[in-house]
Structure 1
Amino acid sequence: MTDVHDGGAVGGGELRIRPASATDGDLLRDLDVATWSYQHAVTSPPSPGTPFFDERHHPDDYLVAELPGRNPADPARVVGYICVVPPTPLPANAHVRQIQGLVVAPDARGAGVARALLRAGAGHARAAGARRLTLRVLGHNTPARRLYESEGFAVEGVLPEEFLLDGRYADDVLMGRALL
């Protein structure tokens, strides 16, 4: 994928959504470290020195959101990413893509970055031939669930108390939408 999406005006600047490159790894890892929380994560906190991309996580699976620098001499600032991948290697569901990560920097939240990433991710999935887009979200993550619902996702299943996170049980909510 080589296209760049105009995400519109966000926080006083023009949001740009572009495919990730291998050189984005450190920035995306740092974003993960800065945003990690049991509010949305079922894995342990990421380690600052761990490579972001590996044999299971490829730059081609990610779209990156960036805002221009505060003045013309400043580089663009990465403020979020979305990961959209086939949910399995099975040919029987090659028409489905799954969001397996959506992260927005704390200082960019509430400005439409996540919505722009979701829309770009849906377009990316559609361009890859997908007919459906799915995701999993923790039951207690109300802000994310509201956002997904506002973008056409519907709850398709709930796995009650699927995870034990920080001493509390959390539901795993399966959501999906058509891309036609």
Structure 2
Amino acid sequence: MPVPHIRRATPDDEDALGRLDRVTWSTLHSVQPRPQPPYEPFYNERFGPRDHVVAELDGAVVGYVRLARSPLACSAHVRQIQGLAVAEEARGTGLARALLRAAGEEARRQGARRLTLRVLGHNTPARKLYEAEGFAVEGVLPGEFLLDGEYVDDVLMGRAL
């Protein structure tokens, strides 16, 4: 498999990122209902190109990670991963790991000292990946979500940069 190119997102990536977000939707990682037409824009007043790192393979966007900034000055040193998606054809290639590392580098470049995320308790593959990349469980909200008839924990994880 060719090596993916990882870069910061641009305004031109919006349609590809929206499509990727829709085709990778799953209750394994989303608490929102499945997106339905007419689709909301991927970029909005809160998240734009500056908040995303994308992965391309042969010129096509095959993954992204979203880095959120806190609106509070007292936590300006923290970035939170609020989205990570990898296209089916690129899974199992280490792309999610590369995107996580790129997110850490981008957060450091922005002056962040911590990187945090939330992951659903039943998403074992993601939890194992985050732990392998240095994230530790910092809190659990038991049974926080009811998904497909099952109560699912909200697991808070973080790491120093």
TM range (shorter): over 0.9
Structure 1 letter corresponding to 2:55? A
Residue 80 of structure 1, aligned match among 48, 63, 67: 63
Matches of 1:162 and 1:108, distance apart in 2: 31
Counterpart for residue 143 of structure 1: 125
Residue 89 of structure 1, aligned match among 71, 74, 98: 71
Structure 1 residue 99, shift from structure 2 partner: 0.2
Deviations 1:117-155 (A, max 9, x none): 000000000011111000000000000000000000000
Matches of 1:96 and 1:57, distance apart in 2: 16
Deviations 1:42-87 (A, max 9, x none): 111123532111112211100110112xxxxxxx11110000111x
8 Å contact kept, 1:32–1:46: no
Matches of 2:117 and 2:40, distance apart in 1: 25
Q: State yes or no: 1:39 paired with 2:32.
A: no
Counterpart for residue 55 of structure 1: 45
The percentage of counterpart residues that share the same residue type is 63
Counterpart for residue 98 of structure 2: 116
Q: State yes or no: 1:156 paired with 2:138.
A: yes
Q: Secondary structure at the match of 2:3?
A: strand
Deviations 1:98-130 (A, max 9, x none): 000000001111101100000000000001111
Matches of 2:138 and 2:30, distance apart in 1: 20
Residue 175 of structure 1, aligned match among 152, 157, 161: 157
Structure 2 letter corresponding to 1:165? L
Q: Which runs of 5+ in 1 are unaligned?
A: 1-11, 69-75
TM-score normalised by length of structure 1: 0.86
Counterpart for residue 9 of structure 1: none
8 Å contact kept, 1:163–1:171: yes
CA RMSD after TM alignment: 0.9
Matches of 1:95 and 1:51, distance apart in 2: 28
TM-score normalised by length of structure 2: 0.96
Structure 1 residue 34, shift from structure 2 partner: 0.6
Counterpart for residue 14 of structure 1: 3
Task: Count how many residue pairs are aligned between Structure 1 and Structure 2.
Answer: 160
Structure with bigger gyration radius = 1
Counterpart for residue 15 of structure 2: 26
Q: State yes or no: 1:165 paired with 2:147.
A: yes
